[in-house]
Structure 1
Amino acid sequence: MYIGEIARLAGTSPKALRHYEALGLLGDVRRSGVYRVYTQQDLAQVKLIRQAQALGFRLAELLPILAGDDTDWAALSRHIAAKRAQVQQDIAHLRRLDAQLGEIDMEIQDCLAGQALPAAA
């Protein structure tokens, strides 16, 4: 399949595909004259790249894992575990931040309630 078709099937752009190829994420793409010819394996690789990006992975993180002909599944698993650990840390941080914002809001509400009291004569 040509670049337009794989881009459509993978939900990406031809420019992104050329970028993945330039980085080495797709290995050697076969050519027919001046046209790139992609395989079903290339399509699966592009979908994996897109899914990894949607999960927060940067292309630079994927390069050592996906570059070349064979995907290093053990390395990918380790990267996923590290990403999950980072997400858990982010969640804990956001929960602490939410609790602090709740405390500040309660203090503000207490101040507002105190202002509403009528002045003693």
Structure 2
Amino acid sequence: MYIGEIARRTGASPKAIRHYEALGLLGTVGRSGSYRVYSELDVAQVELIRQAQALGFRLAELQPLVAGGGEPDWPVLCRLIEARRAAITAEIERLRALDLRLDAVHAEIRACLASTATVAASHCEAARAALPEDAPA
């Protein structure tokens, strides 16, 4: 099949498919004259590449997966997925810690804004200026 057909079947653009080929992600693509001729294995490979990209993998990370141009290296794929999941777990923990800090700062600013004491109010001017005007006090 030609590039238009593989593009239609996989949802990848012809430009992306040529890029995958240039990076070595598709192995050796056949030729018929000046036209590229793709196989069912290439269709499966493009679908796998697109799925991996949707899961957050970069194309450079996928090169070891398809080294050799045949079946994907499934053990390598498993290790990539495990590493990706570990990175996501670490990012989730970092974001949870950030959310807790934001919550604490938010509560402190709200308490400051609610205070009627002159000293507390003078320390809260920057906090008041940082909040939208329609924010409840």
Normalising by structure 1, report the TM-score: 0.91
Please give the residue correspondences for 1:1-121 in structure 2 after superposition, counting only pairs within 5 Å.
1-68=1-68, 69-115=70-116
SS at match of 1:36: strand
Q: How many pairs does the alignment contain?
A: 117
Long gaps (5+) in structure 1: none
Long gaps (5+) in structure 2: 119-137
Normalising by structure 2, report the TM-score: 0.81
- 1:115/1:14 CA distance change after superposition, 3 Å: farther
Amino acid at match of 1:7: A
* CA apart distance, 1:5: 1.5
Asked whether the 8 Å contact 1:7–1:13 carries over to 2, the reply is yes
Asked whether the 8 Å contact 1:31–1:37 carries over to 2, the reply is yes
How far apart are the structure 1 equivalents of 2:93 and 2:63?
29
More relative contact order in 1 or in 2 (CA 8 Å, sep 6+)?
1
Asked whether the 8 Å contact 1:26–1:67 carries over to 2, the reply is no
* CA apart distance, 1:115: 4.3
* CA apart distance, 1:104: 0.6
Larger radius of gyration: 2
Structure 1 stretches of at least 4 aligned residues deviating more than 3 Å after TM superposition? none
Amino acid at match of 2:97: R
Amino acid at match of 1:5: E
* CA apart distance, 1:92: 0.4
- 1:103/1:4 CA distance change after superposition, 3 Å: same
How far apart are the structure 2 equivalents of 1:112 and 1:71?
59
- Residue by residue, what CA displacement relative to the aligned partner does 1:94-114 show, whole Å, maximum 9, x if unpaired? 000011101111011101111
